[in-house]
Homo-oligomer: A and B are copies of this chain.
Amino acid sequence: MIWSTLAVAEGGTVEEPIVFAGVLLSLVAIYIASKIGGEISNRLGFPPVLGELIGGVIIGVSALKLVVFPGEGITASDSLLMQLLQVTAGLSPEAAGQLFREDSMIISILSELGVFILLFEIGLESNLSDLLKVGTQAVLVAVVGVVVPFAAGTLGLMYFFHMDAIPAIFAGAALTATSIGITSRVLAELGQLTTKEGQIILGAAVVDDVLGIIVLAVVASLASTGEVDVTEVGLIIASAVGFLLGVLFAGGLINSAFLKMAGFFQTRGGIIVPALILAFFLGYLGTVLKLEAILGAFAAGLVLDETDKKEDLEKLTKPIADILVPIFFVVVGVKTDLNVLNPAIPENRTGLIIAAFLITVAILGKMATGWAVFGKDKLNRLAIGVGMVPRGEVGLVFAAVGSASGTLSPALDVAIILMVIFTTFLAPPLLRFVFPQKPIEA
């Protein structure tokens, strides 16, 4: 209200209503991109999530630049929406800069909340005992999916491209990631989440996530100090195992606490709010234990799936997921910088060659996991392998850490990003084709 006179207070701070208006405007662009992209993708027979990713690319840094995030050489003047807001709200360039930073941070956090709710929902839809039944298979798939791409990538870069050990190890490590977000969303959209293949992929993706954290800890300390901080790596392994086992064993306790709360509350939100209290707390715990918030979300969903409020909870979570989850996938697309494909830049040309190698290893290395599973069942081994391919947001973290460590050459940096983009955008259509054709669950 009447913020016009107060738009920029003495401290140069932009007033909250304008920050809020910027968030609303960004969400409008993100939602339009998600719905148009998702819808087209769906009608072409692909999972909607592919369209959301591409919709994000179109409104993002690579094309229309409606929504962009601060980064190297990117300021408020690079964002069309921020320019629109600057004009319509009459802001100074300094105020626009501050607005850009604050709105970007808020949209990033909303997108984190999106993948968080996605994993909570996936946890609700998964069945703990089914998941435990395929536990050994899942661990095997995850381990093979870490070891094979890592070894092949690192050794290949050292022998064929004559790279030093440290950058080669870093690139190899980036190949080990699997994006739970992309994989689980596509599985849900294909109605394959509760099949045996789906459960193996999901379980393996979770284990892969934990392994990825450990691998990243190892290579990050290797890159910064030249040696591995055994204590830290040990601590991470201990906290990962402790967290997952702790949640599993405390499951019954958590459930009865939740049911007591849900039974006691007569006011609105009596089921969903207690469930989120639990999920958010486990998310916080996951982060401070140096794991990830989404592991807490998945664990919370998995545990609450065992209660008789499960169906109410699924129904209540759906619209919340509908408005938050697309933000995450569009933002992944928005942040995807396709300028790395521009062959006019010399590093990109070298990068493209390395990328071709990395992409081959990335796909074949994860495909191999399908043949690691054993047992008498006729499993769709190809589908399991393909399910592990997308690097998504997890791959981007490796790229960002590598870039920040300064150990990667610009060409290798470009190559890793290209590998992440390629595997991420390739996985949804590939998964569509390796699973038997069912109508897409819209």
Give chain A's interface residues, CB within 8 Å of chain B. Answer: 1-6, 9, 16-21, 23-25, 27-28, 31-32, 34-35, 38-39, 42-43, 48, 85, 88-89, 102, 105-106, 108-109, 112-113, 212-213, 216-217, 220-221, 224, 232, 236, 261, 264-270, 272-274, 276-277, 280-281, 283-284, 287-288, 290-293, 316-323, 326, 394, 397, 401, 404, 442
Contact = CB atoms under 8 A, between A and B. Distances in A.
Given A267-B48, A274-B35, A25 B401 contact: no
Contacts of A261: 35
Q: Count copies of this chain in the complex.
A: 2
A310 to B, nearest CB: 15
Contacts of A401: 2, 6
8 contacts: A1-B292, A2-B290, A20-B113, A21-B283, A24-B284, A28-B281, A48-B267, A102-B105
Contacts of A287: 3, 17-18, 20-21, 24, 89
Contacts of A6: 220, 401, 404
Given A3-B287, A6-B401, A24-B281, 9 more contacts: A2-B213, A3-B290, A4-B232, A16-B112, A24-B293, A35-B277, A39-B266, A105-B105, A268-B442
Contacts of A18: 287
B216 A1 contact: yes
A319 B322 contact: no
A269 B322 contact: yes
Contact of A89 (B88, B266, B288): B288
Q: From DSSP, what is the main secondary structure of chain A's interface residues?
A: helix
Q: Which 8 A-B pairs have the closest CB atoms?
A: A269-B322, A21-B287, A88-B288, A24-B280, A316-B319, A48-B267, A24-B284, A267-B442
Contact of A109 (B23, B112, B404): B23
B16 A284 contact: no
B397 A1 contact: yes
A9 to B, nearest CB: 7
A267 B21 contact: no
A301 to B, nearest CB: 15
A4 B232 CA distance: 10
A21 B319 contact: no
Contact of A322 (B20, B232, B272): B272
A39 to B, nearest CB: 6
Contacts of A42: 266-267
Contacts of A16: 105, 108-109, 112
Contacts of A266: 39, 42-43, 442
Contacts of A19: 105, 109
A368 to B, nearest CB: 24
A162 B105 CA distance: 48
Contact of A2 (B23, B217, B288): B217
A31 to B, nearest CB: 5
